Amino acid sequence: MDTHVITINQLTRCFKETTAVDQLSLEVHTGEIFGFLGHNGAGKTTTVRLLNGVIEPTSGSMRVLDLNPQMDGPALRARTGVLTETPSMDERLTAWDNLNIYADLYGVPRADVRTRINDLLTEFDLEDRAQEKVGGFSKGMKQRLALARALLHKPELLFLDEATSGLDPIAAHHVNNLIERMARREGCTVFLCTHNLVEAQKLCDRVAILEHGRLVALGTPAELTRQYVCRLDVEIEVPPEQIPTTLSILRSLPKLVLGEPAQPNGALVATINKYESIPEVLACLVQNHVRVYRLAPQEANLEQVYFRLHEEKEGVQ
C-alpha cells in the first residue's frame, strides 16, 4: 500500500514572467504533520492551490490521496480541508450559518450536520457565539471558526496556510494545540504552510524549506539542524573570579571558538565551530585550572537552518 498522501514530481507553475513554484519534488507520508516553510511569496500558497486542483500547473505531475488534482479536483477536494491564509468567512452571517452552508457544500450527511457543527463549535470554544455574526469576532475566533469549517467533513488531508498568522501568542498557542490534537487524534495528515519556524519545529514531523519556489531542504527538524548548522553555542558556567581567565583562554582558540564570547546574564556563551570540538575546549579550560561547573551545548533549531539556507541563497556572508 502506498504510504504517500502527496507525491509531487518536478512541479512548476509560472505566472507570466514569475515562476512561483519551480521544479518542486517531494512526498508527504500518511499521518504526518508536514511543514512547508518559506518567506512570503516563496510559493507556499500556490503549491496548496495546485495540490487542490484550484489552479493548473505549467509542468510536472502530482498525486494527492491517489488522485490527480487536475482531473479529479471535486473528488479530491471532498477529501481535503483547507484553512486559507485569511479566514475567508462571510462576516454578515452567523458562525452557525457559515458552517451550515459549508456542511452542504462538503456533502456532510444531513442527519449529521447539526451534531457535527455543535461538536466543532464546542471543540473550538465558540458554542456561546454560534448565533452571532462573524463580523464581530476577533481574528483568533475567526481563525478557529475557519479551522472548524476545514474539519467539517472530517478530511483525510488538512492544508493549513499560515494558520496562526496575525494572531496574538495565546491565540496562536491555542490554534497550534488544536492542530496537533486534531492531527494526532483524528489521524489526518497535515500540510502546514508557515514562516513561523518555532511553530514548525514544535509541530512538524518533517519540513521542506522553499526559496523562490525551489525546494532547498527537506527532512526532520533534527536532520536539518545536523546537516546545516555546523557551529553551535555553548553556555559555560565558571566561578565569577575566573571569568576573565576563561575569556582569554577562549580567545586564544580561534580555530575552535568563533567570534567573541558573549556574557549575557552573567553566564559565558561561546560559539564553537562544531559539536566534536567540545571536549577539546573543555580540556583546554581544565588544563588552565579553570573550574568548569557546567558546559551546556544549546540545541540548534530550524531558525538557524532557515537563516543559513537563506544566506547561502542570497550570497550573504
Question: Which residues have a Cβ under 8 Å from the Cβ of 66 and sit 6 or more positions away?
Answer: 2
Grid cell at residue 292: 568548569
302 DSSP 8-state letter: H
State the residue for C-alpha cell 526532520. 220
Residue 89 contacts another protein per CB under 8 A: yes
Using CA atoms, how far apart are residues 205 and 266, in angstroms rounded to an integer? 36
Residue 312 contacts another protein per CB under 8 A: no
Identity at 239, one-letter amino acid code: P
Cα–Cα distances (Å) from 132 to 92, 126, 201, 266, 293, in that order, read: 9, 10, 36, 53, 59
Using CA atoms, how far apart are residues 270 and 286, in angstroms rounded to an integer? 16
Residue 77 contacts another protein per CB under 8 A: yes
CB atoms within 10 A of CB 215: 20
Residue 97 contacts another protein per CB under 8 A: yes
3-state secondary structure of 189: strand
Q: What would the x/- binding string for another protein be over residues 140 to 179, using CB under 8 A?
A: ------x--x------------------------------
Residue 205 contacts another protein per CB under 8 A: no
CB of 178 to another protein, least distance (A): 18
Identity at 251, one-letter amino acid code: R
Residue 84 contacts another protein per CB under 8 A: yes
CB of 79 to another protein, least distance (A): 9
Cα radius of gyration (the chain): 24
Residue 66 contacts another protein per CB under 8 A: no
| Interface of this chain with another protein, residues 104 to 133, rule: CB under 8 A | 104-107
Residue 90 contacts another protein per CB under 8 A: yes
Residue 101 contacts another protein per CB under 8 A: yes
Q: Give buried/exposed letters for 250-279 (b at 16+ CB in 10 A, else e).
A: beebeebbbeebeeeeeebebbbbeeebee
CB of 310 to another protein, least distance (A): 26
Using the rule CB under 8 A, which residue among 19, 23, 31, 73 binds another protein? 73
In order, the DSSP letters of 236-285 are EE--GGGHHHHHHHHHT-TTTEEEEEE-GGGSEEEEES-GGGHHHHHHHH
Residue 52 contacts another protein per CB under 8 A: yes
Residue 93 contacts another protein per CB under 8 A: yes
Residue 41 contacts another protein per CB under 8 A: no
* Residue count, binding to another protein (CB under 8 A): 31
Segment contacting another protein by CB under 8 A, of 32-40, 79-87, 245-253, 259-267: 79-87
Residue 260 contacts another protein per CB under 8 A: no
Using CA atoms, how far apart are residues 232 and 230, in angstroms rounded to an integer? 7
Residue 80 contacts another protein per CB under 8 A: yes
Segment contacting another protein by CB under 8 A, of 91-99, 178-186, 246-254, 289-297: 91-99
CB of 40 to another protein, least distance (A): 16
| Pairing state between β 189-194 and 157-161 | parallel
Residue 55 contacts another protein per CB under 8 A: yes
Q: Determine the number of helices (DSSP H) and then strands (DSSP E) in the chain.
A: 11, 13
Q: What residues make contact with another protein under the rule CB under 8 A?
A: 15, 49, 52-56, 73-75, 77-78, 80, 82, 84, 86, 88-93, 97, 101-102, 104-107, 146, 149
